[in-house]
Amino acid sequence: GKRALPGHTYCFSEEMAIEMKREAHIQQGLRKAMDEGAFELKFMPIHQRDKPWCTSAEALIRCTHPDLEGVGPDLFIPVAEKYGMIYELDLWVIEFCFREIGALKQEFREDIRDLRVAINISSLELNNPKLPAQIIMLANRHDIDLNTLDLELTETGLVSHKPSGLKMLTELRQHGIRIILDDFGTGYTAFNQLQHYPIDRLKIDRSFVNELSISGQAHTRSLVDVILRVAEIYGIPVTAEGVETQEQLNYLAQRGCHSFQGYYFNPPVALTKLIATRYQQKRS
C-alpha cells in the first residue's frame, strides 16, 4: 500500500526500485531462456497490393520460458541490449530462422524460394563488425540465399552509429541482403538521413497507421502523407505496419504505399502455417 508520506523523492525511489526489480527479473529470465534455448519465432506475412499471397514474412521472437511468461520482445529486447546479451540473441534468431526455412525447403520448394524473410536486428549490431561474416557463415551452413533476406533496423540506431553503420550496411548489401529502416517516423533526424544510407525500404511505424482510423486526425494523416512523399522523392518503397482495417489499407494504398502488414491480414503465426496457407492461396 501507499504510505501517507508526501514528497516526490520518496515516490520516485520507490518506482525506481520496482523498475530495477523488474529489470533484474527479466535479465535473469533471459539468461535462463538463452541457456535452455527457450525461444521461438513467429512470422508475420507482408502483403503487396494486388497479390493474394504474401511476398515476405517478418520473424518476431517469443520467449517460451515460464519465468518470462507474458513478457514480449518490446520488454526483453531492451534489457538484452542493456546487459550485452543482444548479440547472442540476434544470432540465435538468425540461425533459428535459417534452420526453419531449411527444414521446409524439401516440402515446399518454390514456395520458399520466392518468399522473402525479414529479421530484426538491434541497432547495436552496427557496432559489431563480426555480424556480416556470421550471417554469411550461417547462410552457407543452412543453404540460405541471401538475396531473399531483409534486415530491419531502427532509424535511431543508424544516426548514432554512423561511420561503422554505413560501412556495415554497404557490406551486407554487397551480399544481396536488403536493408529496411524500421519504425520510420518515430525518430527526428530521419528525413535527411535517407540520403546518407543505403536503404532499400522504409516501414512506417504502427503508431501512425493506427491513428489513420480515427476520424479528424488531420495531423497524422498529413504525417503519413509526408512520409510517403519523402520516400517517393528518394525513390524508396514503403511498407506500412500495423494495418488493422480496410479503411487504413485503402488510404495507404491510394497514396502509393507498396506493401502492408498487420492484423487486417494475419497475426504472427508459425512458419509452417504461413507457408501452408500461402501454398493453398497460390493454387486456388
Residues that bind ligand C2E in the complex, under the rule CB under 6 A: 44, 59-61, 72-74, 77, 90, 93, 120-122, 152, 182-183, 206, 241-244, 261-263, 268
CB of 19 to ligand C2E, least distance (A): 19
CB of 283 to ligand C2E, least distance (A): 27
Which is nearer to ligand C2E, 9 or 63 (by Cβ)? Answer: 63
CB of 239 to Ca ion, least distance (A): 9
125: contact with Ca ion by CB under 5 A = no
* Residue 74 contacts which entry, ligand C2E, Ca ion, none (Cβ below 5-8 A, type-dependent): ligand C2E
Task: Among 56, 120, 122, 266, indicate the residue that binds Ca ion (CB under 5 A).
Answer: 120
Which is nearer to ligand C2E, 11 or 258 (by Cβ)? Answer: 258
Task: Among 152, 208, 230, 251, indicate the residue that binds Ca ion (CB under 5 A).
Answer: 152
CB of 255 to ligand C2E, least distance (A): 18
* Residue 50 contacts which entry, Ca ion, ligand C2E, none (Cβ below 5-8 A, type-dependent): none
Long-range contacts formed by 248-255: CB under 8 A, 24+ apart: 248/209, 248/212, 248/213, 251/212, 251/221, 251/224, 252/209, 252/212, 252/224, 252/228, 253/49, 255/224, 255/225, 255/228
Task: List, as one string, the DSSP characters of the chain.
Answer: ---S---HHHHHHHHHHHHHHHHHHHHHHHHHHHHHT-EEEEEEEEEETT-SS-SEEEEEEEE--GGGTT--HHHHHHHHHHTT-HHHHHHHHHHHHHHHHHHHHTTTHHHHHT-EEEEE--GGGGG-TTHHHHHHHHHHHTT--GGGEEEEEEHHHHHHTHHHHHHHHHHHHHTT-EEEEEEETSSSSHHHHTTTS--SEEEE-HHHHHHTTSTT-HHHHHHHHHHHHHHHHHT--EEEE---SHHHHHHHHHTT--EEESTTT---B-HHHHHHHHHHHHH-
Which is nearer to Ca ion, 259 or 284 (by Cβ)? Answer: 259
Which is nearer to Ca ion, 125 or 183 (by Cβ)? Answer: 183
Annotate each residue in 231-250 with x if it binds Ca ion (CB under 5 A) or - if it does not, as one string: ----------x---------
* Residue 211 contacts which entry, ligand C2E, Ca ion, none (Cβ below 5-8 A, type-dependent): none
CB of 256 to Ca ion, least distance (A): 19
* Residue 121 contacts which entry, Ca ion, ligand C2E, none (Cβ below 5-8 A, type-dependent): ligand C2E
C-alpha cell at 33: 531462456
Residue nearest to ligand C2E (CB): 262
CB of 185 to Ca ion, least distance (A): 10
Which residues contribute to the site for Ca ion (CB under 5 A)?
120, 152, 182-183, 241
